[in-house]
Amino acid sequence: MSHRLSPLRTLVLATCCALPLLPLGAARAQSLADPAWEELLESDRYAELEAQARQKLKAEPGDPQATLALGFAVLSQGTPAQQDAGVPVAEACVKAHPESGVCHYVLANLLGVQALRAGMFKAMGMAGRIRESYEKAVALQPDAFNHRLGLMQFYLAAPSIAGGGTDKARDLARSTEAKYPEQARCLRALVAVSEEKYDEAEKLLWAVQPGKDNALRSAVYGSLGQIGAQRLNNKQPAPAQALFERLVQVEPGRAFAFYGLARVKAETGALQDALRFFTQARSLRGQATLPIDYREALVWLQLGDNGKAKSLLQRFVDVGRGHPKNLEDAKERLAKL
């Protein structure tokens, strides 16, 4: 995380709000109809994509494709203020095209990002609107896997009191089985991930046959990548490495698996190998959403090259995107260098 799920945070959040449109390091959830815009997205040229989307929206307020492009751009690399400013754009899309599932889908994701930053109580108040937007998107375009995936992620992230819960997630997977069996297999895997049944989830995901469904293919890639990251967090470097190596073979043009291998090598002390994989990840699709500078800086610190580490940490802080804990740690390390 062709489509990004951003890529790259855990699939299930311990909050009552949905995942954003683009989770860390994975793939997109929907293609853009304009090949030129799709190319900008594929090459991580988000600023150009945002500028062109805004130009289109100025001429045609509420245009669904321009709204989707803007959503991709600001959720990939936008500031919180840019993301917040995207909400009224998505609302205008819904108002102008109430039967467009895309409009409801983008709105749900932008609201989800707001909820993630808002704290538990405010997020609880936003949960109903987020859920309704996802459900509307699925109802309007039942064949669009990205819409169903967003709803599934909401169900898994939100408690039952906020309209979510594992039972609803399972029901969604079951209701998908008859008409879209491959989608259902992926959805069942997400439930297994939420229950930390990683072996079961991995088996289901590798069995998915996405065919020409790029959204489904990207969801499988992103979900497998998340399992690899979780295995690494659980101090299981060997299965994490095996998974990332297999992902590299399947999707050699995407950054996240190489980034994952770099993390494995860094954790196991193979620091030169880690640097090599970080370098490879930098040249591939999706690299802009990954905290490569921060993680590579930690390797240089272990190697005793404070100059290279400082440069990378400073760039990471200056960009200002990434997990708050990583940003805080980077600032603390910079102050000591």
Two tokens at 135?
Answer: 């459900």
Dump strand ranges (E) for the chain: none
For 143, phi and psi rounded to 5 degrees? Answer: -90, -5
Mean pLDDT of 60-70: 95
pTM: 0.82
Whether 114 contacts 13, CB under 8 Å: no
Q: Is residue 20 in a domain?
A: no
Does 211 fall in a domain? Answer: yes
Q: What is the CATH number of the domain that holds 167?
A: 1.25.40
Percentage of the chain beyond pLDDT 90 is 70
Residue ranges making up the domain that contains 78: 35-290
- Residue 162 class from Cβ within 10 Å (0-12 exposed, 13-18 middle, 19+ buried)? buried
Q: Which range among 15-19, 136-140, 197-201, 296-300 shows the weakest confidence by mean pLDDT?
A: 15-19
In a domain, 192, yes or no: yes
User: For 15-24, 144-153, 237-246, which range has the lowest pLDDT when averaged over its residues?
Assistant: 15-24
Residue 131 pLDDT greater than 50, yes or no? yes
Task: Give the DSSP letter of residue 13.
Answer: -
As a whole number, mean pLDDT of residues 243-265 equals 96
Instruction: Work out the pLDDT band at 30, boundaries 50, 70, 90.
Output: low
Report the pLDDT averaged over residues 261-274.
98
- With respect to residue 228, please indicate whether it lies within any of the assigned structural domains: yes
Q: Is residue 91 predicted with pLDDT exceeding 60?
A: yes
Instruction: Tell me the C-alpha to C-alpha distance, in Å, between residue 197 and each of 203, 246, 261, 287, 304.
Output: 10, 19, 22, 28, 39
Q: Taking a C-beta distance cutoff of 8 angstroms, is the pair 216, 183 a contact?
A: yes
Q: How far is Cα 218 from Cα 206, in angstroms, rounded to an integer?
A: 12
Q: How far apart, in whole angstroms, are the C-alpha atoms of residue 74 and residue 238? A: 36
Q: Which residues contact 147 (CB under 8 A, 6 or more apart)?
A: 101, 105, 134, 137, 138, 141
Cβ(44)–Cβ(16) under 8 Å? no
Mean pLDDT value across the chain: 88
- What is the number of structural domains in the chain? 1
Q: How far from chain centre, in Å, is Cα 310? A: 28
Write out pLDDT tens, residues 99-130.
999 999 999 999 998 888 887 788 888 999 99
Q: SS3 helix, strand, coil % of the chain, rounded to 5?
A: 75, 0, 25
Which residue, among 267, 268, 263, has the nearest Cα to 280 in the 3D structure?
Answer: 263
Is 312 inside any structural domain? Answer: no
Does residue 184 lie within any of the structural domains? yes
Give per-residue pLDDT as tens, 139-168.
999 989 989 999 999 999 888 888 899 999
Residue 227 lies in a domain: yes
pLDDT at 133 over 80: yes
Which region, left, alpha or beta, applies to residue 106 given φ > 0 means left and ψ of -120 to 50 means alpha?
Answer: alpha
pLDDT for the residue numbered 289? 83
What was the pLDDT predicted at 32? 82
pLDDT digits (tens, 9 = 90+) for 204-237: 999 999 998 888 998 999 999 999 999 999 999 9
Written as six digits, the tokens of 80 are 């919180």
Residue of 260, 251, 254, 266 whose CA lies nearest to 298: 266
Closest CA to 137 of 63, 62, 194, 64: 64
Rounded to an integer, what distance in angstroms lies between the CA atom of residue 172 and that of residue 94? 24
Task: Count how many residues are written for the chain.
Answer: 337
**In-domain check, residue 322:** no
Number of neighbouring beta carbons within 10 Å of residue 65: 18
- Mean of the pLDDT values across residues 46-75? 94
pLDDT given at position 207: 97
Top pLDDT among 117 and 200 is at 200
Dihedral sign for Cα 122, 127, 133, 137, please.
Answer: positive
